[in-house]
Amino acid sequence: MEQTLSIIKPDGVRKNIIGDVIRRFESRGLTVIAMRMLQMTKQEAQGFYAVHKERPFFDSLTDFMSSGPVVVMVLEGPDAIALNRKIMGATNYEEAEEGTIRKDFASSIESNVVHGSDAPETAKTEIAYFFSSLDIMA
Ligand code: CMP
């Protein structure tokens, strides 16, 4: 079993598709073992995306991620990190496969509905950014 962090971004919450997104995870074998709805400050978004701080899109990304509520979840399942990324589709929705969340719902490379951890080490750090071990129903 593996755990990964998933975020339904402000555009996903605004589009009223929280249930649809979670259903896609659950129907493919991922289980929600922790969940919170919250709105990040700009500073909290900068902390979460610190690895991207030199990128040209960092300022816009952190404005966007702090622009409204998000749903953060820990998903668990066999190969959860890779499976979650497969269900989400490519970062750029124009390159995402048919039937993925981003292909179906994203409206730009930034407003791409969901975030998912990309590796075991990042999953650990990202989960700890939002959840204490007592919050996780593992
Ligand atoms: P995410 O998987 O959350 O990781 C970083 C985010 O930066 C990405 O999804 C996009 O929302 C956003 N982003 C904006 N522009 C770009 C870009 N040119 N390349 C990659 N990510 C981008």
Here the ipTM equals 0.95
pLDDT at 7: 99
Give me the CATH number covering residue 66.
3.30.70.141
Inside any domain, residue 30: yes
* Residues in a beta bridge with 33: none
The reply to whether 20 falls in a domain is yes
- Residue 60 domain flag: yes
Ligand 1 centre from 24 Cα, in Å?
21
Q: Active site residue: 62, 115, 127, 130, which one?
A: 115
Q: 50-98 pLDDT, tens per residue?
A: 999 999 999 999 999 999 999 999 999 999 999 999 999 999 999 999 9
Ligand 1 pocket check for 50: Cβ under 6 Å:
no
Residue 137 falls inside a structural domain? no
Residue ranges for the known binding site for ATP are: 9, 57, 85, 91, 102, 112
Q: Is 61 in the pocket of ligand 1 (CB under 6 A)?
A: yes
Helix H or strand E segment including 65: helix 58-65
What average pLDDT score do residues 90-119 get? 98
Answer yes or no: is the C-beta of 115 below 6 A from any ligand 1 atom. yes
Tally helices (H) and strands (E) across the chain: 7, 4
How many structural domains compose the chain? 1
* Domain limits for position 90: 2-130
Average pLDDT of every residue of the chain: 98
The answer to whether residue 138 sits within a structural domain is no
Cβ partners under 8 Å of residue 69, min gap 6: 10, 13, 37, 38, 39
Residue with the two structure tokens 């950014």: 129
Tens digits of per-residue pLDDT, 10-29?
999 999 999 999 999 999 99
Rounded CA-CA distance 96/114 in Å is: 13
**52 is known as an active-site residue:** no
Q: What does pTM read for this prediction?
A: 0.98
Using CA atoms, how far residue 28 sits from 22, 36, 89, 94, in Å, is 10, 21, 14, 23
Q: What was the pLDDT predicted at 58?
A: 98
Going by the DSSP 8-state scheme, the letter that residue 88 receives in this structure is H
Length of the chain in residues, anyone?
138
Closest CA to 36 of 12, 69, 10: 69
User: 63: CA distance to ligand 1 center in Å?
Assistant: 13
Residue 126 covered by a domain: yes
Residue 135: inside a domain = no
Is the residue at 101 inside a domain? yes
